[in-house]
Chains A and B, each alone.
Chain A
C-alpha cells in the first residue's frame, strides 16, 4: 500500500494480544498487571486510530485506503478472499467510537468490577470483543466481516453469561446466541448470494460492479438485501429478533454499555451502511428496513414505559433507538443513521454507565421503585445522567437532538410513507422522553423509598468516563448533520435532500422538541408532582398496562409457536431417531455382526495343524483350478471381454 503507514492490522491485534495474555495467564497474574494489560490493549488501538484519523484530516491519506496486498485467506478457482482491511470515513467513524467508548468503558470496568470474581476473565472477554468488533468494521469483504460478526456474538455470549452461576444469566446468554444464529443464517445466505451473483465478496468490488451496471434493480438484489437485513435484525435486536437484548442485561453493566448499547448492536446498521450500494438498488428492501425500524422503535418504547428494572428500561430504549437508525437506513439517509449511531453510542453508554454507577452505589439494587432521592448522594452520577437523559429525549442542543432530527427529517422527505414514519417516529420521541424522565425522577428525585439502602458515590475510575461521555453527549452532535453527512458521503452516499427546505426542517425540529417537552411534563406530573397517580392510572387501564408489562407476551408467543415445536421435534430426532434408532441400532447391528462372524470364524480357527494344512491345500487347489479355466473365453460368452494374458500360455 502506498502512502503513510496505517498499522490497520494492529488495531484488532492489540486487543487480541490482551485477550491471549489475560485469557491464558490472567488467573496467575497479579490484579494490577491484568488491569494494565487490559487497559493498554484498547489504549494502543485507540492511539493507532487517532493517528490514522490525524493522517486523514491532515490530508496525507487517500481514502478509501484498501489493503490490496493483504495475506490471502481462501484462494480457490476464481474465488479469492483475503484478510484485507478497508479504511474509509465510515470505518474511521466506527473505529473512533469503538476504541474510544471501548477504552472509557474499560477504565470504568476497573472500578466496577474491582471486587468481582473472575476479574481477569472479564477483561479477557472484553478485549476479545474489541478484537472482533474492530475486525468487523475494518473488514474489506463480507466473509471477514462475518468472522467479526460471529466473533462479537461469541464475546457477547460469554459476557452475558459472565455470572454463569446464575441460571438466568446462562439462559440469557444461550438465548442471545440462538436468536443471533437465526440472523446469522440470513447473513450467511446473503453472503452466498453475493458470491453467486457478483463472484466476489469484496465490498469495493461489489460497489464497482453495481456502479457499472445502473440497470440492476430489485430482483435478486432485493433477495440479497433482505437476507442481509435478517442478519442485521438479529445483531441489532430489531423486530422480530429483538427478544434477546433485554435478557442480555444479565451481563455486567459495563458490558451492557459497550456491547449491548454502544457498539455491537449497531453492527447491523454499520453493515447496511457498508452495503448501501446494494440496498439503494432495492426500494422494497429499503421500505422493509424502514418499516422494521419504525415498528421496533414504537414497540420497544411502549414496553419501556412500564418496566421497573433500570437496566431493562435502558435495554428497551436501546432497541427503540436502534429502530431509529434502521429508519434512517430505510430512507437512504445512511449518514443520519451513522450519526445517530455515534451520538447514541455516547449517550446510551453514558446512561448504562450511570445506571451501573447507581446499581454499584446501591449495592446491586436494580429496581427503580426502590430508588429515589439519589441526587444528593450521587451528585456526579446525577448530573451526567441528566445530560444523557436530555440527549436521548432529543432536547436542543444535546447530541441526540441533532441525530434524531436528521433521521426524522429525512423520513419526512420520503413521500407519503415517509410522513407516516415521521409521525410514528415523533410519537416514539414523545414516549422516549416520557420513559427517560420517568427513570430520572424515580431514581434521582423525590424521597428515598428504601431506607435500608445506603447509596454512596462511585470511585473516580467510574466517574471519569461518565464525565467524558457526558461532555460528548452534550456536544457530540454540534458538528451537525450537514458537515457529518458531507464527511461520510464518499463512503455511504449523500443525504437525501429532495424537496426539503430549512424552514421545513426548523418546523419539524420545533415539533419534535415540543413533543419531547410534553413527554417531560407528563413524567413530571406523574412521578414528581403526584407520585400516587401512576398506580391509579395503571389500575384504570389494567388491560393495556398488563400487555405492556408482559412485553406483549412476545417471549411467550415465540416460546409456544417456535421454541416448543422445534424442541419437541429436536427431542424426537435426538432421543428417538438418532440416539435410539440410528446410534443404538447401529451399535447393536455392528456388535451382532462382529459376534456372528466371530462365532463362525472361531470354528475355522480349530488350532489343529492338519485342518490349517487342509485349508491351505484347498486354497492352492482353487488357485490352480482358477488358472486352468479359460476365463477370458468363459466371460466372452457372457459378453465380457477382459484384456488378460492367459498366464500359463504367456511364456511362449
Chain B
C-alpha cells in the first residue's frame, strides 16, 4: 500500500516538476508547482509528518502559490519569448539534471544504514511537535515573527506604486 502510494505521488511530483520546467507560460508553471507541493504533502503524510502535510497545503500550495498566481496575473506576464541560446539551454539542461542527480544519488546510495518507511510507523503528532516548538525553540519561533514583520514591511515598501518621494502626493 505504502509502495503504491509512494510511486503514485512521487511520479506525480516529478511530472509536475518537469512540467514546471517545460511550460512556456508562467501560469502553467505555477499550476504544476501546486501539483508538486500537494503531492509532496501526501509524501509527508506517508513519512508521518501530519502537521507539515497540512502546513504544506495551507502555506505553500495555498498562500505562497496564490501569491505567485496573483503576481502573474497582475503583471500579465506573457509567454517567454524564444531567444538565441534557449534551445541549447534546454538541450544542455536535462543532461545537467541527470549529472547533478547522479552525483547526489551516489552520495545517498553510499549511505548503508538508512532505514525504511512503512504505513505502520506511526505519526508524529502535532502535540509532540508543538511541545518542542514552544518549549525548546520558543525564541527562534518568536524571532520568525519579527522576520515576517520585516518581510511585510519590505514587500509593502518595494511594491508601493512609485518611489518614496511620490508617496507623499
Stretch at the interface among A25-33, A42-50, A390-398, A621-629: A621-629
A57 at the interface (CB under 8 A from B): no
Name the residue of chain A whose CB is nearest to the CB of B112: A652
Total interface residues in chain A, CB < 8 Å: 7
Q: Mark A622-652, 1 if CB is under 8 A from B, else 0.
A: 0011011000000000000000000010001
Residues of A within 8 A of B103 (CB): 621, 624-625, 628
B107 near A648: Cβ-Cβ < 8 Å: yes
B113 near A652: Cβ-Cβ < 8 Å: yes
Residues of B within 8 A of A648 (CB): 107, 110
B107 near A621: Cβ-Cβ < 8 Å: no
Main secondary structure of the interface of B (DSSP, over half): helix
A628-B107, A648-B107 as given contacts; A621 in contact with B100, CB under 8 Å:
yes
A273 to B72 alpha-carbon distance, docked (Å): 100
- Kindly provide the distance from the CB of B144 to the nearest chain A CB, expressed in whole angstroms: 26
- Kindly provide the distance from the CB of A532 to the nearest chain B CB, expressed in whole angstroms: 103
- Kindly provide the distance from the CB of A627 to the nearest chain B CB, expressed in whole angstroms: 8
Q: Mark A343-358, 1 if CB is under 8 A from B, else 0.
A: 0000000000000000
Main secondary structure of the interface of A (DSSP, over half): helix
Question: Given A621, A628, A652, which contacts B106 in the complex, CB threshold below 8 Å?
Answer: A628
Residues of B within 8 A of A652 (CB): 113
A621 to B106 alpha-carbon distance, docked (Å): 13
Q: Mark B104-130, 1 if CB is under 8 A from A, else 0.
A: 101100100100000000000000000
A624 to B107 alpha-carbon distance, docked (Å): 9
- Kindly provide the distance from the CB of A613 to the nearest chain B CB, expressed in whole angstroms: 12
A296 to B107 alpha-carbon distance, docked (Å): 92
Residues of B within 8 A of A621 (CB): 99-100, 103
A624 to B100 alpha-carbon distance, docked (Å): 10
- Kindly provide the distance from the CB of B165 to the nearest chain A CB, expressed in whole angstroms: 27
Residues of B within 8 A of A628 (CB): 103, 106-107
Name the residue of chain B whose CB is nearest to the CB of A625: B103
Q: For chain A, residues 310 to 326, give those with C-beta under 8 angstroms from any C-beta of chain B.
A: none
Q: Mark B90-108, 1 if CB is under 8 A from A, else 0.
A: 0000000001100110110
- Kindly provide the distance from the CB of B90 to the nearest chain A CB, expressed in whole angstroms: 13
- Kindly provide the distance from the CB of B83 to the nearest chain A CB, expressed in whole angstroms: 11
- Kindly provide the distance from the CB of A621 to the nearest chain B CB, expressed in whole angstroms: 7
Q: 10 interchain pairs (CB within 8 A)?
A: A621-B99, A621-B100, A621-B103, A624-B104, A625-B103, A627-B107, A628-B106, A628-B107, A648-B110, A652-B113
List 11 additional A-B contacts (Cβ < 8 Å) besides A621-B100, A652-B113: A621-B99, A621-B103, A624-B103, A624-B104, A624-B107, A625-B103, A628-B103, A628-B106, A628-B107, A648-B107, A648-B110
What 9 A-B pairs come out closest when comparing CB atoms?
A: A624-B103, A648-B107, A628-B106, A628-B107, A628-B103, A621-B100, A625-B103, A621-B103, A652-B113
